[in-house]
Amino acid sequence: MGWDQSRPVPWQRLIREWLIYVAIMAVILVALFRDSGFAGALAGLLVSGPLYLVFGYVMAKFGYQRKSLKDLKTPRASSSTRSDSAAGDDSSSAARPRPLPTKRTSGGGNRPSSKQRRR
């Protein structure tokens, strides 16, 4: 996709994700650098904010939209309710085609020849 100036940028989401990242990393850095000064690491975290926002802005203008956890969970929930309601219908089998035959599923052409039984 190309650059499109009219594409919206999810500023609230970008800022919220960066704040969560900073909070988690600050706790980790305090635990790791308890004895020595962690002012440099904290300064690095604060510098990462504008960099993250600029990178998110550029990616949004190119059309990248990462799915949220809510978006990832929604198809599963709707597909499970759909399959429950259509359990006896043929439409559920149309949604997922049968796999192609292989040697292991006896559809690959290498079937053992059947021998006639002696009586």
What is the per-residue pLDDT across 52-80, written as a single tens digit (0 to 9) for each? 999 999 999 998 888 877 888 876 545 55
Confidence of residue 46 (pLDDT cuts 50, 70, 90): very high
| C-beta separation of 41 from 103 below 8 A | no
Residue 114, Cβ neighbours under 10 Å: how many? 6
Residue 60, Cβ neighbours under 10 Å: how many? 19
Rounded Cα distance between 83 and 75, Å, is 12
Query: 2-31 burial by CB neighbour count: b if 16+ within 10 A, else e?
Result: eeeeeeeeeeeebeeebeeebeeeeeebee
Residue 37, Cβ neighbours under 10 Å: how many? 8
pLDDT at position 106 over 70: no
* Better pLDDT: 11 or 111: 11
Confidence of residue 105 (pLDDT cuts 50, 70, 90): confident
Of residues 14, 1, 9, the one with CA closest to residue 50: 14
pTM assigned to the model: 0.56
Percent of the chain past pLDDT 90, that is, above it, reads 29
